[in-house]
Amino acid sequence: MNFESFVKVFSSYSPEKIVFVGLGNELRGDDAAGLLFLERLKVKPEFCKSNFIIAGTNPENYLQKILDSGADVVVFIDAARSGAKPGTIGWIDTEKVVSVNISTHAFSVKMVEEFLEKYHPFKFMYLGIEPLTTKLGENVSSEILKNIDNFFT
């Protein structure tokens, strides 16, 4: 996947109807991948009118902000172990979110989704970035940095 194909996925949505939620822990190496991706995404002209939430490790703290965003599409972006090559960026089937290790965070992203669905018929999407290491105290690996950079160029 590259940025061009990423943009096409959202071509039928008004940018202001999309909220991108970056998940991750900056202290755990590649677990910060979702946060890094979000920072790069929010400066792109194609999404300048979209909503961006840096949720870190606690997406449950941003439920009201998501509900108040006016969005119809919620895109969670996080490091996710799927067995792919480290740095691989790809969509995770919503049905597989429970089986793919998408998060090291306190609240399950699926639980967040289930809560939000009670208030609005959101479309949920999950973008995963395959981590190399999520050890406490590690820096983000060069594979992750390179692949995120390549994605946006």
User: Is pLDDT at 143 greater than 80 in this prediction?
Assistant: yes
Provide the mean pLDDT of the chain: 92
Query: Half-sphere exposure of residue 3, counting CA atoms within 13 Å on the CB side?
Result: 17
- The domains located in the chain, with CATH, are 24-152 (3.40.50.1450)
Q: Which residues of 76-94 are buried (b: 16+ CB within 10 A; e: fewer)?
A: bbbbbbeeeebbbbeebee
Higher confidence at residue 94 or residue 64?
A: 64
Give pLDDT tens digits for 68-108.
Answer: 999 999 999 999 988 899 999 999 987 766 544 444 454 57
Q: How confident is the model at residue 111 (pLDDT cuts 50, 70, 90)?
A: confident
21, burial (CB in 10 Å: exposed 0-12, middle 13-18, buried 19+): buried
Token duo for residue 52: 């961006």
Region 122-142: mean pLDDT is 95
3-state secondary structure 7-30: HHHCCCCCHHHEEEEEECCCCCHH
Q: Which pLDDT does position 13 carry in this prediction?
A: 98
For range 104-123, the mean pLDDT:
83
Provide the β-strand partners of residue 21. 53, 76
pLDDT, position 106: 46
Name the CA dihedral angle for 76, 48, 30, 27, rounded to a multiple of 10 degrees: -100
